[in-house]
Structure 1
Amino acid sequence: MDLAEQTSLDIVDISALFGPPGMARDATDAALWTGLRRTGSVVITGYPDADKVDGRARIGLKVFDLPQDMQRTLYTKRLNPGNTNLYRGFWALTPNRRLQNDFYDVGPETPGTGPDLPGIDFLTEPTPWPDPEPEPGWRQTVQAHFDHLNGVAMAMIASIGRSAGFDDAVIAERFDGTNSTLRFLHYPAGAVTPMEAEDGALLSAVRHTDSSGLSLLWQDTTGLQAEGQDGIFRNIPRMENAISVHVGDVMTQMTKGVVPATPHRVLHTGDASRHSVGFFLEPALSAPVTPADHPVGKPAVQDTYAFQLLRTLSSRVEWDGIAKDPAEAL
């Protein structure tokens, strides 16, 4: 394998994941598994309605074209005390964040419920929608994009589960679509994170892993990089109607470390702005995040995704005073 092959990502046509079990699906499982284990990320193509990805992403990103007074109606309560939404909605760039971007978070059309935990209500709030819309039919397009990417992510996580030696149905049932997140991101020109990279790279988003089970990332230009287990950061190519796949922390937990989470980062945007779209497949709030081979049954509240998510949010400065560590109430 030459240097170019070592530092490139695999591009995998996943169409067979949407067909019956058999040799074609097995080969796709193997290609995804090999690519994710080698470089931490793969680029996927060939899924149903793939030709709609670029168009839907660009329509959704028009939320950033709204006048600022309209954007403020979508801000979280942290940024606009007159609003009621705490979790979903618009987060404007603030200088102390590791990720130097504005983003707008969309949840499922019908949010699921969670376990009985103090302070959990804000995790189940509905998405605040712009009124008027950036263009006619905008909300419908965004919701269709959520549903589409959720279907792709579910097929992906079942494939990874099979390759990891777990019953794919056991893993898939934990991700029932009632708590995942579709995020539209805008990196303004010149946005630089206040934290330095160890290798000296100038970044807009520092190295991190996602707390989700699986992340599907789309970008309008290059800049995203994924780190393999060899410590090499590889550029995610910009391809028509293609998205990159990154494993999240929850999947690592469920497979007892067999599937490592994907560290990734975003290079400094320079004099140009940058846009991206992320779909984060998350477990249902009441679902366990224990290893997938643990006995099936009602999970203890400490083993649920809601408990873990609240603990994670409570440790971050931007959630200070909003998210409480549920362990303190037990």
Structure 2
Amino acid sequence: MARSAILLILLVAPAAAFLPDLLAKLWPTQTGGDFDGVARVPYLDLVNGNAYVDPFVLQSMKTYGFFYVVEVPEYSADKEHVVMKKFFELDEDVKDEMSIRRHNPLNKNAYRGYCPGLDDVENTLQYKNLFNIGPHETRAPSYEGSTLMDKLRYDCQEPNVWPQTGDCDFDIEFKTIFQKGFEIRRNVGRAFVRSIARSVNYPGLPNLFKEDEFSAMGLRKYPIRKAINENMYSDFDGTLLRELEHIDSTVTVLSTFNNGGLEMLYKDEYRPAPVTGDNSFIVNIGKLVDDLIDNEVPSVKHRVAEVDYDRYSITYFLGPQFDADIKTSMSGKVTDAGYKYNIFGEWIKDYLGAIELFYY
């Protein structure tokens, strides 16, 4: 649907009286930039299911592969940024107490917690610090003696690890801010799924996301590199990169904290994406979800260009629930994943194995 067609719909709709204010929200002052037309959807309108947002979300996704969620109440990216930086500035021996078991064998978690990630400065993709937060604070009873899939479901429910630095004020602030930030992002991810489901008439889609056993929020610090080698340059156009070109897998809700570098592939060229502001996010989808909705909207390819400062971001991923059928799309077609997997739990088993080997 063209942007002009969307405007026509609004003009004849009851919301026409609010058209000037509405357009000011959805499309701020034009700058002549490549992504001026990307929708900027107010948080409350999205999560409350206000139907007017659906064509804007759909059009933005079809045209650009992403959109912005703005005006998030009682949320401050600046506060998250400050507290996250303070965490990464802690002494390594303090952070090591929260490290995943690959870096600290005394800890049980393989994924939730801190990962130094700087073992090899030649590693192009993973020269970063990561603190991974999930949806679980406690763990279900052990599945000892049960099936492999039950064991995997248990593994997916790793409880969060929170700082215990001796500074009680900081520890409480960190946990409070990022528990709240996780929930806000989960609200965005689920509301986006509902919006797309309404737009493409797939009412069963939200049922695949009722639970989120392995949703994940990663606090990321990309330090200034100590060395550069030829593996850090893009095969696409030779640009020096912090993160190589890639497509995500599930639903992504991203905060860039006014840090530049993120670039989206648009009209066969990588172009800088406007940064997220103090109360906004970027939303896009990945290949797995794209297949589930019959490729109605694209999974945008993106990357991070090299910058000359420590770069921070937070990436939240919302995946289908463990038992979600990923073998067939909403229209009944076999998905790319469906040639090997029946449910999301089977897919996540191999994905997590690859992550543990590759990332850690």
Instruction: Please say if 1:41 is aligned against 2:66.
Output: yes
Q: Percent identity?
A: 21
Tell me if the contact between 1:109 and 1:143 (Cα under 8 Å) persists in the aligned partners: no
Q: 2:162 aligns with which of 129, 134, 137?
A: 129
Q: 1:79 to 1:8 in 2, by over 3 A?
A: farther
Quick one: structure 1 residues 133 and 45, their matched pair in 2 at CA, closer, same or farther if it must change by over 3 Å?
farther
The aligned counterpart of 2:13 is none
Residue identity opposite 1:69 in structure 2: D
2:128 paired with 1:101: yes
Cα deviation code 1:42-86 (max 9, x no counterpart)? 22213443x434323432443212210011112211222232211
1:124 partner amino acid: Q
Residue 267 (structure 1) shift: 1.0
136-145 or 198-207, which moves further after superposition?
A: 136-145
1:249 equivalent in structure 2 = 287
Select the residue among 87, 93, 114 that pairs with 1:63. 87
**RMSD across aligned C-alpha pairs, in angstroms?**
3.2
Distance (Å, rounded) in 1 between the aligned partners of 2:106 and 2:139: 25
Q: State whether structure 2 residue 207 is matched by structure 1 residue 173.
A: yes
Corresponding residue for residue 279 of structure 1: 316
Are the counterparts in 2 of residues 112 and 178 from structure 1 also a CA contact under 8 Å? Answer: no
Match of 2:20 in 1: none
Alignment equivalent of 1:117, drawn from 130, 143, 149: 149
User: Residue 100 of structure 2 corresponds to which residue in structure 1?
Assistant: 76
Alignment of 1:100-249 (within 5 A): 100-110=127-137, 116-117=148-149, 120=152, 121-132=154-165, 135-137=170-172, 138-167=174-203, 170-175=204-209, 176-190=211-225, 194-197=231-234, 198-212=236-250, 214-220=251-257, 221-228=259-266, 230-238=267-275, 239-249=277-287
Is 2:29 the partner of 1:29?
no
Give the conservation status (yes or no) of the 8 Å contact 1:53–1:241. yes
Question: Which residue pairs with 2:40 in the alignment?
Answer: 12
Letter in 1 for 2:246: H
Matched residue type, 1:31: F
The Cα offsets for residues 162-193 of structure 1, whole Å up to 9 and x where unpaired, read as 223311xx222322243211110000013768
1:185–1:275 Cα contact (<8 Å) kept: yes
Counting matched residue pairs gives: 308
Contact 1:217–1:277 (Cα < 8 Å) also in 2: yes
Q: Using the alignment, how far apart are the partners of 1:278 and 1:312 within structure 2?
A: 17
Between structure 1 and structure 2, the one with the greater Rg is: 2
Where does the alignment leave 5 or more consecutive residues of structure 2 unmatched?
4-29
Question: How many Å apart are 1:30 and its aligned residue?
Answer: 0.9
SS in 1 for 2:164: coil
Show CA shifts across 1:196-253 (max 9, x none): 31211110111112222x111111211111223x323232222232211111222112
Distance 1:37 1:109 in 2: 34
The answer to whether the 8 A contact 2:265-2:271 is kept is yes
Structure 2 distance, partners of 1:112, 1:232, is 45
**Structure 2 residue matching 1:159: 3-state secondary structure:** helix
Q: Secondary structure at the match of 1:174?
A: helix
Structure 1 residues 1-26: Cα deviation after superposition (integer angstroms, max 9, x where no partner): 99935454514123422346xxxx33
Summarize deviations over 1:95-114 as a string: whole Å, max 9, x none. 33523211110001347879
Describe the SS at the equivalent of 2:59.
helix
TM-score by length of 2: 0.75
Structure 1: gaps spanning 5 or more residues: 323-330
User: When the two structures are superposed, what TM-score results if normalisation uses the length of structure 1?
Assistant: 0.82
C-alpha contact 2:76 2:278 (8 A) present in aligned 1: no
Distance 1:153 1:112 in 2: 24
Distance 1:148 1:196, change over 3 A: same
- For 1:249-268, list aligned pairs within 5 A: 249-268=287-306
SS in structure 2 opposite 1:10? coil
Gap change, CA 1:150 and 1:34, over 3 Å in 2: same
Q: 2:15 is matched with which residue?
A: none
The alpha-carbon deviation at position 195 of structure 1 amounts to 4.0
Partner of 1:326: none
Shift of 1:142: 1.3
